[in-house]
Amino acid sequence: MVQLFKRVVPGIIVLLFCLVVFPLTLSAAEAGEYIAIRKEGSGNIALVLDKLDANGKKESRFAQSLDTIMHDGLDFTKIFSLISPPLNVKDFSDKKNPVINFGALTSVGAEVYAGGSLTRKSGMINLDMKVYDASGSKLLLSKTYTGREEGLRSIGHAFCADLVELLTGKKSVFGSKIVFISNRTGFKEIYECDFDGFGVEPLTNLKSISMNPALSPDGKHLAFISFAPGRPTLCIKNLADGKIASVSKSGVSIDPGWRSNSEVAATLSLEGNQEIYLVNTDGSLSKRVTNNKSIDISPTFSPDGTKMAFVSSRNGLPQIFIQDIQSGLVKRLTFSGRYNTQPSWSPLGDKIAYTTWEKNGEINIFVINADGSGLMQLTQKSRENKSPSFSPDGEMIVYTSNRQGKEKVYVMSSKGGNERLLLQGDDVQTQPSWSLFR
Kindly tell me if the per-residue pLDDT of 309 is higher than 50. yes
C-alpha to C-alpha distance for 322 and 305, rounded to whole angstroms = 12
Percentages (nearest 5) of helix, strand, coil residues in the chain: 15, 40, 45
- The pTM (predicted TM-score) of the whole model is 0.89
The pLDDT value recorded for residue 421 is: 97
**Cβ partners under 8 Å of residue 185, min gap 6:** 207
User: Does residue 365 lie within any of the structural domains?
Assistant: yes
Task: Give CB contacts under 8 A, 24+ apart, made by 311-320.
Answer: 311/5, 311/7, 311/340, 311/341, 311/342, 311/343, 313/1, 318/4, 318/5, 320/352, 320/354
The pLDDT value recorded for residue 8 is: 34
**Cβ partners under 8 Å of residue 58, min gap 6:** 120
- Chain segment 340-357, per-residue pLDDT in tens: 999 999 999 999 999 999
Nearest to 158 by CA among 201, 120, 129: 129
C-alpha to C-alpha distance for 317 and 338, rounded to whole angstroms = 7
Label residue 227 exposed, middle or buried (CB < 10 Å: 0-12, 13-18, 19+): middle
Q: HSE (CB half, 13 Å, CA atoms) of 14?
A: 17
**Cβ partners under 8 Å of residue 328, min gap 6:** none
User: Does residue 330 lie within any of the structural domains?
Assistant: yes
Question: Do 283 and 378 share a domain, yes or no?
Answer: yes
The pLDDT value recorded for residue 98 is: 82
The pLDDT value recorded for residue 87 is: 93
Q: What is the mean pLDDT of the chain?
A: 90
- Of 121, 149, 168, the residue at which a domain comes to its end is 168
Question: Do 264 and 408 share a domain, yes or no?
Answer: yes
The pLDDT value recorded for residue 144 is: 98
C-alpha to C-alpha distance for 122 and 125, rounded to whole angstroms = 9
Kindly tell me if the per-residue pLDDT of 200 is higher than 90. yes
Q: Which residue stretches of 169-297 are H helix?
A: none
User: Does residue 119 lie within any of the structural domains?
Assistant: yes
Question: Do 136 and 186 share a domain, yes or no?
Answer: no
Question: Do 202 and 74 share a domain, yes or no?
Answer: no
Least confident of 6-15, 62-71, 411-420: 6-15
- Chain segment 43-69, per-residue pLDDT in tens: 899 999 999 999 999 999 999 999 999
Kindly tell me if the per-residue pLDDT of 423 is higher than 70. yes
For residue 365, the domain's CATH number is 2.120.10.30
The pLDDT value recorded for residue 137 is: 81
Which residue range forms the structural domain that includes residue 368? 176-434
For residue 133, the domain's CATH number is 3.40.50.10070
Torsion angle of alpha carbons 200, 365, 39, 434, nearest 10°?
Answer: -20
Q: What is the mean pLDDT of residues 230-251?
A: 92
- Which run of H or E residues covers position 38? helix 28-39
- Of 135, 168, 201, the residue at which a domain comes to its end is 168
Kindly tell me if the per-residue pLDDT of 26 is higher than 80. no
CA distances from 59 to 66, 121, 127, 422 (A): 10, 10, 11, 30
Nearest to 245 by CA among 254, 236, 253: 236
- Chain segment 177-196, per-residue pLDDT in tens: 999 999 999 999 999 999 99
User: Does residue 92 lie within any of the structural domains?
Assistant: yes
Question: Do 211 and 315 share a domain, yes or no?
Answer: yes
The pLDDT value recorded for residue 346 is: 97
Question: Do 357 and 248 share a domain, yes or no?
Answer: yes
- Chain segment 94-132, per-residue pLDDT in tens: 777 889 999 999 999 999 999 999 999 999 999 999 999
Question: Do 290 and 377 share a domain, yes or no?
Answer: yes
- Chain segment 321-338, per-residue pLDDT in tens: 999 999 999 999 999 998
The pLDDT value recorded for residue 438 is: 58
The pLDDT value recorded for residue 307 is: 98
User: Does residue 11 lie within any of the structural domains?
Assistant: no
> What spatial distance separates the first Cα and last Cα of the chain, rounded to whole Å?
35
Whether residue 401 contacts residue 410, with contact meaning beta carbons closer than 8 Å, is answered with: yes
Kindly tell me if the per-residue pLDDT of 140 is higher than 60. yes
Whether residue 239 contacts residue 261, with contact meaning beta carbons closer than 8 Å, is answered with: no
Distance between alpha carbon 364 and the CA centroid of its chain, in Å? 20
The pLDDT value recorded for residue 39 is: 52
Helices 57-77/152-168 angle, 10° precision:
40
**Cβ partners under 8 Å of residue 260, min gap 6:** 216, 217, 305
The pLDDT value recorded for residue 20 is: 39
Q: Which residues pair with 276 in a beta bridge?
A: 267
The pLDDT value recorded for residue 271 is: 82
Strand order in the sheet with 396-401: 385-390, 396-401, 408-413, 420-421
Question: Do 155 and 81 share a domain, yes or no?
Answer: yes
Question: Do 329 and 219 share a domain, yes or no?
Answer: yes
Whether residue 312 contacts residue 319, with contact meaning beta carbons closer than 8 Å, is answered with: yes
User: Does residue 9 lie within any of the structural domains?
Assistant: no
Residue 381 binned pLDDT confidence (cut-offs 50, 70, 90): very high
- Of 168, 199, 220, the residue at which a domain comes to its end is 168
Kindly tell me if the per-residue pLDDT of 238 is higher than 90. yes
User: Does residue 115 lie within any of the structural domains?
Assistant: yes
